[in-house]
Chain A
Amino acid sequence: MISYTGEKCSHCIKCIQSCPTQAISLIKKEIQIDESKCIHCDICVKNCKNRYLKVESVHMNETLHLHDYNIILIPTSLLSDCKSLEDFEKTCSAIKKLGFDEVIQYSDVESTLYQDYISYSESHPGLWLTSFCPTMNLYIEKEYPTLYERILPFDYPVEVAAKKIREKFKDQNIGIYSLCECVGKMFLAKQPHNNHKSQIDYAMSVSHIFPKIRKLLSDDQETMTLFKGGLSLNVSDNFRGDHCCIAATEGINQATSLLELIEFGRIKHLNLIALYACYQGCIGGYYLWNNPFEGFYNIESMQNEFQEGSASIDDQLKYIERLVDEKSVESFEERLKWFNQVNEVLEKLPQFDCGACGFANCRGLAESIVNHERTLETCRVNKR
Chain B
Amino acid sequence: MIQTYQVEANNYEDAGIVSQRVKQTLKLMNVPPPILKRIAIACYEGEINLVIHSEGGSISLIMEDSQSIKLKLDDVGPGIADIEQALIPGYSTASREAREFGFGAGMGLVNMKACASAFEISSSPNGTHICMEFRND
Contacts and interface: CB of A to CB of B under 8 A. Distances in A.
Interface of A: 143, 145-146, 148-149, 260, 263-266, 329-333, 335-336, 339-340
Contacts of A266: 44
B20 A260 contact: yes
A263 B23 contact: yes
Contacts of A339: 1, 25, 28-29
B1 A331 contact: no
Contacts, number: 49
26 contacts: A143-B27, A146-B33, A146-B34, A146-B37, A146-B40, A260-B16, A263-B23, A263-B41, A264-B19, A264-B40, A265-B40, A265-B41, A265-B44, A265-B111, A266-B44, A329-B30, A330-B30, A331-B66, A332-B65, A335-B30, A336-B1, A336-B63, A336-B65, A339-B1, A339-B25, A339-B28
Interface residues of B, number: 22
Interface string B35-57: 01100110010000000000000
Contact of B27 (A145, A331, A340): A145
Contacts of A143: 27
Question: Which secondary structure characterizes the binding site on chain A?
Answer: helix
Contacts of A149: 33
B33 A333 contact: no
A108 B34 CA distance: 37
A357 to B, nearest CB: 20
Given A332-B30, A335-B29, A335-B30, A263 B40 contact: yes
Nearest to A145: B33
A304 B40 CA distance: 47
B30 A333 contact: no
Nearest to B3: A343
Counting from the closest, the 7 A-B pairs by CB-CB distance are: A332-B66, A264-B44, A146-B33, A146-B37, A265-B41, A145-B33, A263-B40
A323 to B, nearest CB: 14
Given A145-B36, A148-B33, 10 more contacts: A145-B33, A146-B33, A146-B40, A149-B33, A263-B40, A264-B19, A265-B111, A329-B30, A332-B30, A335-B30
Contact of B16 (A264, A329, A340): A264
Interface in B1-28: 1, 16, 19-20, 23, 25, 27-28
B71 to A, nearest CB: 14
Contacts of B37: 146, 263
Interface in B60-107: 63, 65-66
A264 B20 CA distance: 9
Contacts of A333: 65-66
A40 B28 CA distance: 21
A336 B29 contact: yes
Contacts of B63: 336
B35 to A, nearest CB: 9
Contacts of A263: 23, 37, 40-41
Nearest to A324: B33
A351 to B, nearest CB: 14
Nearest to B37: A146
Contacts of B40: 146, 263-265
Nearest to A263: B40
B65 to A, nearest CB: 6
A258 to B, nearest CB: 13
A329 B1 CA distance: 20
Contacts of A340: 1
Contacts of B36: 145-146
A362 to B, nearest CB: 15
Contacts of A331: 66
Contacts of A336: 1, 29, 63, 65
Contacts of A146: 33-34, 36-37, 40
A149 B63 CA distance: 26
